[in-house]
Amino acid sequence: MLFKKNKDYEILFITNLPSFYKVNLFNELSKKTHIKVLFISDKSLIRNEDFYGKELLFDYEIVTNVPYENRNSLLVAFRLFKAVFTTRYKKIIYSGWESKELIFFPFITAKSKNGIVIESSILETKATGIHWVLKKFIINRMSYAFPSGSLQNKILDKAGFKGEVFITHGVGISNFQKRNVVVMKDNMAKNENLKFLYVGRLSREKNLSILIEAFSQTQHKLIIAGSGEEFTHLKNKATNNVTFLGYVDNTSLVEIYAGCDCFVLPSLSEPWGLVVEEALSMGLPVILSDKVGCHEDMVNAHNGIIFDATNSNSLLLAISNMAENIDSFKAAAATYDPLENQQKQLSAYLRSLK
């Protein structure tokens, strides 16, 4: 052996950042089995402080303390190599192809131990060209795959994956738990002028212009929580029924969700959509574009509406339908159980160990 091995682990995870939802997942998983996590970096230039998990209850290593975007790829690759080959594990699970340093690792680790997390959906995946050929090579060096949902699983189908598939039904565990729904139920009084909510970055791929335009044609209110490069442009387009809150700390979002009637996510590209889980956890029905990666898994005819991301009339019809049937949509959304979804995620990883 090139390096001295340390203690044994059932799963060795490699992922980019200690995001709060990943840390929550790893914390819960570590209660059930012995895991170790290699985080490529402990910070990102585009993330606020509340994005990171504060209490890590599992074994882990931070590969570099340099911001993720500024990391030295060669140095990170060397440190990852050392960390991987000084760790004994039954499975090594790679977090997709987010970090270029990971591209060659599946070819130097045992295929029988290799697993991959697929959080991108088929909707934003270009299944042609050299990049797709490389992705197919990587996927087929795996024996296990953990797609977030059905649209993520279609990437595996397209790549001709022959290994075992464990759909996780999520990308991590949010900070919103079932107890928060009680707060929401106190605010379920019918209101002719409903409050719709968007939470996230104010960037072009979030397709917020279509949302602003739609609400200029309705009496309902739109609350936008988030910051980004589109802030000034969107604010200049908005009518008086649109309120911009700017960036809101994660811990303060509970009250904002609780004060609204419906959540809207109009994205042109959204690999999964953790905010959808947060909204449902708070008892809010949802309106999602057909480009949101979790829409086939998280939304049904009772708790939400799917619209065409490129069609403003489709969005207006969705808003009208939601307003006319808000009580039944809210009742269905209130039945969503985040703890049940958490157990599905844990079960996917634990079943892969059997």
Residue ranges covered by each domain of the chain: 8-173+339-351, 178-337
Classified as helix, coil or strand, 275 is helix
Residues 171-212 have pLDDT tens digits of 999 998 754 444 444 444 455 789 999 999 999 999 999 999
Classified as helix, coil or strand, 209 is helix
What average pLDDT does the chain have? 93
Percent residues over pLDDT 70 in the chain = 94
Q: Flag whether pLDDT at 315 surpasses 80.
A: yes
Tokens encoding 139: 């996927």
Helix (H) or strand (E) holding 280: helix 274-281
CA distance 92 to 79: 16
Q: Flag whether pLDDT at 4 surpasses 70.
A: no
End-to-end CA distance of the chain: 28
Domains 8-173+339-351 and 178-337 belong to one CATH topology: yes
Residues 50-60 have pLDDT tens digits of 999 999 999 99
pTM above 0.85, yes or no: yes
Q: Number of helices and strands (H, E) in the chain? A: 13, 13
CA distance 19 to 42: 9
pLDDT at 251: 81
pLDDT at 10: 98
Architecture of 8-173+339-351 per CATH? 3-Layer(aba) Sandwich (3.40)
Q: Flag whether pLDDT at 1 surpasses 80.
A: no
CA distance 92 to 114: 5
From the list 119, 129, 130, 124, the residue with the least C-alpha distance to 153 is 119
> For the range 67-70, what are the long-range contacts, defined as Cβ-Cβ under 8 Å and sequence gap of 24 or more?
67/41, 67/43, 68/16, 68/17, 68/40, 68/41, 68/43, 68/44, 69/44, 69/45, 70/45
CA distance 125 to 154: 10
- Helix 312-324 vs helix 326-333: crossing angle, to nearest 10: 90
Evaluated on CA atoms 67, 69, 74, 77, the torsion sign reads positive
**64, 76 in Cβ contact below 8 A?**
yes
Q: Flag whether pLDDT at 219 surpasses 90.
A: yes
CA distance 152 to 262: 26
Whose tokens are 């049904």? That residue is 300
Q: Which CATH superfamily groups domain 178-337?
A: Glycogen Phosphorylase B; (3.40.50.2000)
Give me the half-sphere count of Cα atoms (radius 13 Å) on the Cβ side of residue 39: 24
- Residue 84: CB partners within 8 Å, gap ≥ 6? 12, 14, 38, 92, 105, 109
pLDDT at 187: 46
CB atoms under 10 Å from CB of 142, counted, come to: 25
Helix (H) or strand (E) holding 199: strand 195-199
Q: Flag whether pLDDT at 110 surpasses 90.
A: yes
